[in-house]
Structure 1
Amino acid sequence: MPRTIAEKRAAFRALHASGCFVLPNPWDAGSARYLQTLGFKALATTSSGFAWSVAHADNTLPREAILAHLRALVEATDLPVNADFESGFGDDPDGVAESVGLAVGTGVAGLSIEDSTGNAAAPLFPIELAVERMKAARRAIDASGGDTLLVGRAENFVAGVPVLDDAIARLKAYAAAGADCLYAPGIQTREQIEAVVAAVAPKPVNLLIGSTSTLTLQDVAALGVRRISVGGALARTAWGGFMHAAQALADGRFDGFTGAAPGSQLNELFRDHA
């Protein structure tokens, strides 16, 4: 039986209480439905994967398109969905609060707010402003009466400012500002991961593993991480297969379809969704 939004949010919060779980990132309703069949407990959107699917670069789609995408994924699965809500679609706290209120209305169980600006000359918001933006997101969630989980993201390692001390200072400030879960995409070493986990404890930490890693789920759990997401990695993998097959066609070959999923399997997967 499909779960209510409240039930999804409660289940999502419970996942963060102990252990470590994988939070894969579908980019459309079909990939979300398939991931549900594999037994995952929750899903997260990927701004890059969705943007590529509609022929845009990451972080270039308007708020309305992202909100529609969130609704589509929430409706496509019985699993809780965490929203990659980019930088909150507002430079100032009031703008972030308005956007977060709209995102909560889509039914997501969690959402993340980044501190990146998109400006190469000043890639991160000043920490004081970033904290005010996080507080605004917290107020918007609380005002909704829901239980949406707020994730604070320090973008240092993906925005060209790979300074661990600054990332940790930001994460600690976001935790104090009301973030329920903390996330520094781009950290990779055991030492970096352990430092982030220790700095924000007892609040849970999300780890991005978006490329081949020697770490296993058990390794990551032993480091104290509560959840693992993969960002656009699944979408990039799908694009890799598509591009390989399409390039073979362009070369006059038909050997690029090895490993393709059978149409009968896909039809069966989506039959009850017609």
Structure 2
Amino acid sequence: MEKTRSIQMVTDFKELHSNFFILPNAWDAASAKIFEQCGFKAIGTTSAGIAVSHGYSDRNMPFDTMLAVVRKIVQAVNIPVTVDIEDGYGETPEEVAESVRQVIKVGAVGINLEDATMDPQAPLYDIQVQQKKIAAIRQLGDRIGFPIFINARTDPYWIKHVTSSGRLEETVKRAHAYQEAGADCIFVPGIREISDIRTLRKEISGPINVLAGPELPPAHELEALGIQRISTGSGPFRATVSLLHRIGQEMLERGTFEQMTSKVLSYDDLSQL
């Protein structure tokens, strides 16, 4: 993507965080294009959706597989795309920055970097380790003249191995550290209680991102609380896979095709995507 247009894309994406918006997460070119046609102003990717649709479990997908999908998504739409890079696809800050450089190269405007380790004994990365990753990404952007949008995800509410006591305090502490290192937005998946969200908003300056879910307050309440961004994560992908399962069950158990044929895109419409 031509650099001037890429910089305009990231500028537009940052501007979205001045207000409130919903960011859907796509897993391929078709899902991205459908979200764009719905009217969304930007798109994220879902690492779980991309991984599972290519035969991998989340956090076990090869980087090249993810990058190839991101390239196709960017080419399919005319709105900003931000990429879930899990914990950075690298052991060192330099390796993480190189992963981000390649993501930028294919046209992404931002990244989502999480601090979960997937290790039950130490479920979260050390704060200083995560700070160094974020700082390396910010330094990369400065070096190449590209203001990449860094969404720093912190997982005390998300990781099952972290006890509920102290989650809010740990989240705020990590948020401050990540902002100090250069993060543009703080992502807190798993937070649900309005009281916690209200405290989070009071304690953190700058944009806050939460994850859509069945127990999350509705969008208008979150907007009133001062939240800037709701991501959908793997939700749309899981809903799509669930629909496929119901279609299969209907065909085998009832011999009918209603869910497959009712209110669906025609073949011609599909071809236009």
Could you tell me the TM-score, scaled by structure 1's length? 0.91
Pair 1:78–1:269, CA change in 2 (3 A): farther
> How far apart are 1:70 and its partner, in Å?
1.3
Which amino acid is 1:56 matched to?
Y
Which amino acid is 1:205 matched to?
I
Alignment of 1:60-99 (within 5 A): 60-99=60-99
Instruction: Look up the match of 2:247.
Output: 245
- Distance in 1 between residues matched to 2:145 and 2:251, nearest whole Å: 53
Alignment of 1:108-187 (within 5 A): 108-160=108-160, 161=162, 162=164, 163-187=167-191
> How far apart are 1:41 and its partner, in Å?
0.8
Question: 1:34, 1:269 within 8 Å by CA — same for their partners in 2?
Answer: no
**Is 1:207 equivalent to 2:210 in the alignment?**
yes
- Distance in 2 between residues matched to 1:159 and 1:216, nearest whole Å: 23
Could you tell me the TM-score, scaled by structure 2's length? 0.91
- Distance in 2 between residues matched to 1:175 and 1:263, nearest whole Å: 43
Instruction: Look up the match of 2:10.
Output: 9
Which amino acid is 1:13 matched to?
K
Which amino acid is 1:151 matched to?
N
Q: Secondary structure at the match of 1:257?
A: helix
* Matching residue within 231, 234, 252 for 2:233: 231
> How far apart are 1:256 and its partner, in Å?
5.4
> How far apart are 1:6 and its partner, in Å?
2.4
Instruction: Look up the match of 1:44.
Output: 44
- Distance in 2 between residues matched to 1:58 and 1:138, nearest whole Å: 26
- Distance in 1 between residues matched to 2:261 and 2:20, nearest whole Å: 31
Question: 1:175, 1:200 within 8 Å by CA — same for their partners in 2?
Answer: no
> How far apart are 1:263 and its partner, in Å?
4.4
Question: 2:193, 2:216 within 8 Å by CA — same for their partners in 1?
Answer: no
> How far apart are 1:149 and its partner, in Å?
0.5
Please identify, of 121-130 and 39-48, the stretch whose mean Cα deviation from structure 2 is larger: 121-130
> How far apart are 1:258 and its partner, in Å?
5.4
Which amino acid is 1:12 matched to?
F
Instruction: Look up the match of 1:22.
Output: 22
Instruction: Work out the number of aligned pairs and report it.
Output: 267
* Matching residue within 219, 230, 236 for 1:217: 219
Question: 1:104, 1:141 within 8 Å by CA — same for their partners in 2?
Answer: no
> How far apart are 1:110 and its partner, in Å?
1.1
Q: What is the CA deviation profile of residues 146-172 of structure 1, one whole-angstrom value per residue up to 9, with x for unaligned ones? A: 122111110122222242211111111
RMSD: 2.0
- Distance in 2 between residues matched to 1:148 and 1:228, nearest whole Å: 19
* Consecutive unaligned residues in structure 1, runs of 5 or more: none
Question: 2:20, 2:223 within 8 Å by CA — same for their partners in 1?
Answer: yes
Question: 1:45, 1:82 within 8 Å by CA — same for their partners in 2?
Answer: yes
Instruction: Look up the match of 2:269.
Output: 268
| Aligned-pair identity (%) | 31
Question: 1:87, 1:116 within 8 Å by CA — same for their partners in 2?
Answer: yes
- Distance in 2 between residues matched to 1:142 and 1:69, nearest whole Å: 26
- Distance in 2 between residues matched to 1:146 and 1:261, nearest whole Å: 43
> How far apart are 1:111 and its partner, in Å?
0.6
Q: What is the CA deviation profile of residues 245-265 of structure 1, one whole-angstrom value per residue up to 9, with x for unaligned ones? A: 11233436324525644342x
